[in-house]
Chain A
Amino acid sequence: MTALLEIRGARREFVTPEGGRLAALDGVDLDVGANEFVTLLGPSGCGKTTLLRAVSGFETLDGGTIRLDGADIAALPPFRRPVNTVFQSYALFGHMTVARNVGYALEVQGVPRATYEAEVAAALEKVGLSGLGGRKPSQLSGGQRQRVALARAIIAKPRLLLLDEPLSALDRNLRQQMQIELKALQHRLGIAFVFVTHDQEEALTMSDRIVVMRAGRIEQIGTPRDIYRQPKNRFVAEFIGETNLFPVLVERIEGATALARTDAGVVLAIPAEGRRAGERVTAILRPTDLALAGEGIRGTVTRAVYLGADLHLFVQPAAGGPEISVTTRDVASLPATGETVHLAHDPARVHLLAEA
């Protein structure tokens, strides 16, 4: 399968106000398949927006190629690229009605009136805004504006839709609802989506694949599950979800498991495969991988946060070292702050990083 979008060796440098050079993109390779929902995830300044703008044509690359359907589009101006964008601020045309906003791409193409009207009605219908075509954007709520921006961007049937943090201005409930709707819309339309966000939860919810970026480079590309369960390095592990990191020394191998110990003295059971005694690795345990038990890592509860279905505990190991974060189901006897508990884990759930 050839990719719809093919980015090779994308480089872009900015000159900082102090006169220094900052690599916003430092050799990025990325493929996006047709119908794929790909999320660019990373902290602000990691280059994800620059990459998106390079695809839409508002940023020129210092090096590298961008191909869409095999054709190099790097030299095309934005209005010649079969790519549309949903902007972070929505960028709706304030002086036009909702209907005219939505139909803009057709209007500038000179599409005949009858087709235009039908397409605008259909696009409004798709995003659930039928009947609001006559309003001005200023008369709509945030969520409705978001939908107008979406309808406007898909009406010309782009090969690829780019979304630049489109949900960041919405409140939490609406955001979660829009996440589901966006994913459903993408599925229905059969258009590839490239979605930019700094919100890891958003990325996990919607994406077919997540691209984790840092300082102009791609740290890891994978399915949400891959990224969450098998992060390639500390940065990815810490950026996606809550993580307990244990830099450990492998002490001895006992069949399928190995025993490893942190410098402070916390002992963990880890998968033995490929390990040898005396090796230093980093063990990763998600809060949900640990459970309260009769034996295991002994520690004191420093904080207990009740979350409804779950209980979140912070446990200070008796041996020393950083606090361990644990999520367990709401149980009958809730441990109180200051109480001594034991934490057990399944060695198979431990993910190991070669770096110490």
Chain B
Amino acid sequence: MRRQSVILGLLLGPVTLFLGVFFLLPLLIIALFSVLTPGLYGGVEWAFYHWNYGRVFGWADGITEIYEPVYLSILFRSLGFAAMTVGICLLLCYPVAFWVSRLPQRWRLVFLFLITLPFFSSLIVRLYAWLLILKPSGLLNGVLMATGLVEAPLEILYTPAAVVLGMVYVMIPFMFLPLYGAIDNLDRAQVEASLDLGATRVQTFVKVMLPQTLPGIMGGAVIVFIPSVGNFIVPDVLGGAKGLMIGNLVEQQFLSARNWPFGAALSMIIMSVVLVVLLTAVTRARKRSDTR
């Protein structure tokens, strides 16, 4: 018994230490910084300062700044973009995952490999490729104009649409894999039973397939939603001013504005909001699957 606990300690020790030093400690530092006074030239001064949160939620200090809901609107925009990313990824991936799960084994493996292919090159490079595709003189507009579908180049780049498009592109593998896992595990006999009992194909999808693949849907949604809310690289490259997201704001506070406490406060806000959204979504999904 004692020997077992020693072995367990040896096995878990390094992981605990690693997570403690490189995950928990930084988190605590961020939490602490978020209520400290910004230093004049960056860094922090060790005095309590609640205006970091006040600037966002409605009590600006009134001297250097008058309250405006600009940060809140950026936060909500980010949540909206992330939700749209989740929705579009889901709509794109569900039928594809379904189709792939019906392929012969050999082709399924090929397809799963293709899904992971983008990870082999740098995200920044791939986003710049999108820049080249979307810009007014780029590939997309070239094709659209050559085929006569549009007269003037579409202004897609540096719009919210470009941001969502870019995020969908980045996040699709993360939605696809859990979804594919769930759909691949779908009990086909239950689908047949539903059809056999007189349910139409649509009823079968809603009443049997959707609830059974719900864990995959929720898993994919969570994995896509979290990094999407705080994403700053995609809006940086494709977003322009109108596509600014909360992640960019945090990045600016830490790097160019050198206001670490405000950046830390924004980070804490993102984290709490994401946590609340996810907990509600997951508990509601679980409740729904329990009742008719």
Contact = CB atoms under 8 A, between A and B. Distances in A.
B193 A91 contact: yes
Nearest to B195: A78
Interface string A81-102: 0011101110111111000100
Contact of B193 (A85, A107, A109): A85
A58 interface: yes
Contact of B196 (A85, A92, A94, A109): A85
B58 to A, nearest CB: 44
A105 B212 contact: no
B200 A91 contact: no
A331 B207 CA distance: 62
A314 to B, nearest CB: 42
B197 A152 contact: yes
Contacts of A156: 197-198
B43 interface: no
B192 interface: yes
Contacts of A95: 211-212, 289
Contacts of B197: 79, 84, 104-105, 108, 152-153, 156
B190 A93 contact: yes
B84 interface: no
A79 B289 contact: no
Contact of B198 (A88, A89, A108): A108
Contacts of B201: 79
B2 interface: no
Contacts of A105: 197-198
B284 interface: no
Given A58-B192, A85-B193, A91-B190, A108 B292 contact: no
Interface residues of B, number: 21
B192 A108 contact: no
How would you classify the secondary structure of chain B's contact residues: helix, strand, loop or mixed?
A: helix
B196 A78 contact: yes
Contacts, number: 72
A256 B117 CA distance: 84
A77 interface: yes
Contacts of A50: none
Nearest to B197: A105
Nearest to A164: B189
Contact of A79 (B200, B207, B208, B292): B200
A56 B212 CA distance: 24
B65 to A, nearest CB: 52
B187 interface: yes
Q: How large is the interface on A (under 10, 10 to 19, 20 to 34, 35 or more residues)?
A: 20 to 34
Interface in A38-63: 56-58
Contact of A77 (B189, B193, B195, B212): B195
Interface string B187-223: 1011011111111110110011001100000000000
B195 A79 contact: yes
A87 B192 contact: yes
A108 B193 contact: no
Given A94-B212, A108-B207, A87 B199 contact: no
A87 B189 contact: yes
B198 A109 contact: yes
Contacts of B189: 87-89, 91
Given A93-B208, A100-B292, A79 B193 contact: no
A174 B212 CA distance: 30
Interface in A185-217: none
Contact of A104 (B187, B194, B211): B194
Interface in A112-160: 152-153, 156
Nearest to B208: A93
Contacts of A153: 196-197
B277 to A, nearest CB: 24
Nearest to B189: A91
A56 B196 contact: yes
A87 B193 CA distance: 8
Contacts of A83: 196
B193 A93 contact: yes
A80 B201 CA distance: 11
A78 B203 contact: no
Contacts of A77: 195
B199 A79 contact: yes
19 contacts: A57-B195, A57-B196, A78-B195, A79-B198, A79-B204, A84-B196, A85-B192, A89-B187, A93-B190, A93-B193, A93-B208, A94-B190, A95-B212, A104-B199, A105-B197, A108-B197, A108-B198, A153-B197, A156-B197
Interface of A: 56-58, 77-80, 83-85, 87-89, 91-96, 100, 104-105, 107-109, 152-153, 156
Given A85-B196, A108-B197, 10 more contacts: A79-B204, A84-B196, A87-B192, A91-B190, A92-B190, A93-B194, A94-B212, A104-B197, A105-B198, A153-B197
Interface of B: 187, 189-190, 192-201, 203-204, 207-208, 211-212, 289, 292
Ranked 6 nearest A-B pairs via Cβ: A91-B189, A91-B193, A108-B199, A105-B197, A78-B195, A95-B211
